[in-house]
Amino acid sequence: MSTATIAPAPPVLDLDARLALVDAAMTVRLDQAAVAFEVNTAHLPGADPIPHIAEAPLPAPHFAPSPYRTPLANLLYRARLRIETDGWCRDAVFDESGAVCPIRAIRLEARGDRDLAHDACVALLDAIQDQFADAETIPSWNRQQTSAGPVLAAFDRATHRVHTRNQ
């Protein structure tokens, strides 16, 4: 009679043991790749595995003069540019990075002229309410926006409107 021997089942590895095996295999492969890189670049004079790239400073933004001649349209145009360059702030008047809300942009660009700033805010709110009838105030509408796009578009509409009215 013949007796058959049954081979023992391979041990079942838990997750930690399998991860350790994969880690060891990857370490070997990375070491081989590093050696291959050194061999392949040894003939290159001054071969640096990570070349240093000097960053050139960004040029200062160049602003064209305002195309609008009326004070109110000019103010709205400059306030829009301020939001574009400094950034748009949604939940506060301004933030630590320098981003501003629409009203702050208007007030900064009005340079102390409260009447002109008030008129610009009224014109902006009118332009907003043309598209968003439920908007009660500029800050409440601003908080509902998810990007600066609608804010800049509202400035464009307000600027165009006061320009065509020669304000």
- pLDDT per residue over 90-131, tens digit each? 888 888 888 999 999 999 999 989 999 999 999 999 999 998
**Measured over all CA atoms, what is the biggest interatomic distance in the chain, rounded to whole angstroms?**
113
Tell me the pTM. 0.61
For residue 61, give every residue at least 6 positions away whose Cβ sits within 8 Å of its Cβ, in sequence order, or none.
85
Q: Domain for residue 32, yes or no?
A: no
Q: Shortest CA distance to 144 belongs to which of 156, 132, 157, 130?
A: 132
Residue 22 covered by a domain: no
Which residues constitute the domain of residue 89? 71-164
- The pLDDT confidence band at residue 83, using thresholds 50, 70 and 90, is very high
Is residue 4 included in any domain, yes or no?
A: no
User: What per-residue confidence (pLDDT) applies to 126?
Assistant: 94
Burial of 139 (0-12, 13-18, 19+ CB in 10 A): middle
Partner residues linked to 35 by β-bridges: none
Q: 87 is written with which tokens? A: 């950034």
* 134 inside domain: yes
Instruction: Determine, yes or no, domain membership for 133.
Output: yes
> How many structural domains does the chain have?
1
- Kindly state whether residue 29 falls inside one of the protein's structural domains: no
**76: in domain:** yes
123 part of a folded domain? yes
pLDDT in tens, 1-55: 566 677 777 778 888 888 888 899 999 998 898 888 887 777 666 655 555 555 5
